[in-house]
Structure 1
Amino acid sequence: MRTMNMAEKLQSLRKSKGLSQEELADLLNVSRQAVGKWEAGRFYPDIDKLMQLSELYSISLDRLIKDTGDCNLQIGEQNEEKEDITDFLIRAKTACYAGHGEEIDASRRGSHDLEYEEDELYYYDTYLGGERFGGEEAVWKNGMPIWCMNYCGRVTGEHFSGDFLKEALDAVPYNMPYRGPAFFQSGAYTYHCRVEGDFDWYQGYEEILHEGIKIYECYFHGGSIR
């Protein structure tokens, strides 16, 4: 296996997250030129930026800095079943809340509930509240629960747009099938999401900024339950 240096890793990890140099620069509050120089091996990030990159890519500083044969580009090794569940989960998410899906009868007083089903796989999303909310998503296979995620969030400022949040969540990426992508932008709104862990055990945080000011945040965690 060919050894990768840090500059090569930085470029590969960025691309694995589906980020352009401009998008990564925005997340790290640096210039696009700085990112380009890191990936060309002309300069190296300072320790604060290395720590941010380590967190963003879910890779240890040691593995990020040292020349190695791989750099954990994929979050965990997914077997065929996990790939099928991931594909299903993304379809379910984009068909339900993110896709303005129709709610079903409430399972609890005041709850908002959505469901999606394909063959032996079943998805359920239920949450309480509005500007402050909490909920859970879960997947069943052949009637047995196999995966779940809890989330809790709040609107923290003016100009919040539920439609923008749905638009960001509709872009949920395959390598991070929990909420939205690491970076998403539309007009004056910017969405950020970061995750630690893998499909079987993870935690994350998402936020929305309006003209650079944070107006929304949400924490989430979950994983396999079998």
Structure 2
Amino acid sequence: MNMAEKLQLLRKNKGLSQEELADLIGVSRQAVGKWEAGKFYPDIDKLVQLGELYSISLDRLIKDTDDCNLRIEERDGEKEDIAGFLIRAKRACYAGHGEELDASRKCSHDLEYEEGELYYYDTYLGGERFGGEEAVWKGGVPIWCMNYCGRVTGEHFSGDFLKEALMAVPRDMPYRGPSLFQSGAYTYHCRTAGVFDWYQGYEEILYEGVKIYECYFHGGSII
């Protein structure tokens, strides 16, 4: 597999369009298109950014003899159903200003959502510094969970903007928000490594180009 092919597949595995990738690394969409067509190669600084974004070494990215063990994950019907349920649950709960339950622990914030035999629960502690867990049960059996921990790091943080970004959670990356989301002076970035069964990620919010919020998360299937 040559580098142009790997760049295209890595981008698709990440759930990014050419335009979204271009915005993330500071180039034009046309430049990304030319890289993936094999007409031009990225400069070394862009290769470094791509390697960090895709969690892959430059050596493996550049070598034509290394296919990087790449493949687009094919989810079975059950995983697809659970991913769709998870997105609806997220949009109905925190992201959608859902009503909180009575606290399950001292000072905790708790939200739930249910469809048939699928049940979702989100519980977290804190405010400007926070930590929590989301989980999904099927037929009373826990099958998936995610832990997260974040903090506000600067001025002008907007909880409404974060919720707006999380409402745009994509189906192929149903963990937090999309790879890129913008509104006014606010920009949201999210990147993940892994697949639905086992993954980790990081999200951040910038205000006029300055980072003001960050959150780390990780999770996967537990059956």
TM over 0.5: yes
- Provide the C-alpha distance between the structure 1 equivalents of 2:121 and 2:183, rounded to a whole number of angstroms: 28
What is the CA-CA distance between 1:149 and the residue it aligns to?
0.3
- 2:73 is equivalent to residue 66 of structure 1: no
Distance (Å, rounded) in 1 between the aligned partners of 2:84 and 2:104? 26
Change (3 A) 1:67 1:88: farther
Structure 1 position 9, deviation (Å):
4.7
- The Cα shift of 1:224 comes to 0.8
* Residue matched to 2:172: 175
| Residue 147 (structure 2) aligns with | 150
For residues 8-61 of structure 1, give each alpha carbon's deviation from its aligned partner in whole angstroms, at most 9, with x where no partner exists.
553455456554444322211334443233133221123443343345346676
Cα deviation code 1:75-132 (max 9, x no counterpart): x331111111111111101111111111111101111100000010000000011100
Q: Is the CA contact 2:132–2:147 (under 8 Å) kept in the aligned structure 1?
A: yes
Distance 1:184 1:169 in 2: 9
Alignment of 1:57-136 (within 5 A): 57=54, 62=60, 66=64, 72=70, 74=72, 76-136=73-133
Question: 1:59 touches 1:72 (CA, 8 Å); kept in 2?
Answer: no
Aligned 8 A contact 1:146 1:224 in 2:
yes
> SS in structure 1 opposite 2:23?
helix
Q: 1:77 to 1:21 in 2, by over 3 A?
A: closer
- Percent identity over the alignment? 80
List alignment gaps of at least 5 residues for structure 2. Answer: none
Distance 1:64 1:201, change over 3 A: farther
Residue of structure 2 equivalent to 1:203: 200
TM-score (norm 2): 0.88
Distance 2:185 2:68 in 1: 38
- Letter of the 2:88 counterpart: R
Q: 1:223 to 1:16 in 2, by over 3 A?
A: closer
Letter in 2 for 1:42: K
Cα offsets for 1:115-161 (capped at 9, x unmatched): 00001000000001110000000000110111100000000001111
Residues 24-63 of structure 1 mapped to structure 2, 5 A cutoff: 24-57=21-54, 62=60
Give the aligned residue type for 1:206: E
Q: Indicate the residue corresponding to 1:223 in structure 2.
A: 220
Q: RMSD value over aligned CA atoms?
A: 2.4
Counting matched residue pairs gives 222
Tell me, in whole angstroms, the C-alpha distance in 2 between the residues paired with 1:60 and 1:200: 23
SS at match of 2:119: strand
Q: What residue identity is the alignment partner of 2:64?
A: K
Q: Judge conservation of contact 2:6–2:61 (CA < 8 Å) in 1.
A: no
Structure 1 pair 143/14, CA: closer, same or farther in 2 (3 Å)? same
Between 58-67 and 178-187, the greater mean CA deviation after superposition? 58-67
Distance 2:87 2:63 in 1: 33
Contact 2:109 2:125 in 1 (8 A): yes
Distance change in 2, residues 1:137/1:91 (3 Å): same
Partners of 1:30 and 1:90 in 2: how far apart? 31
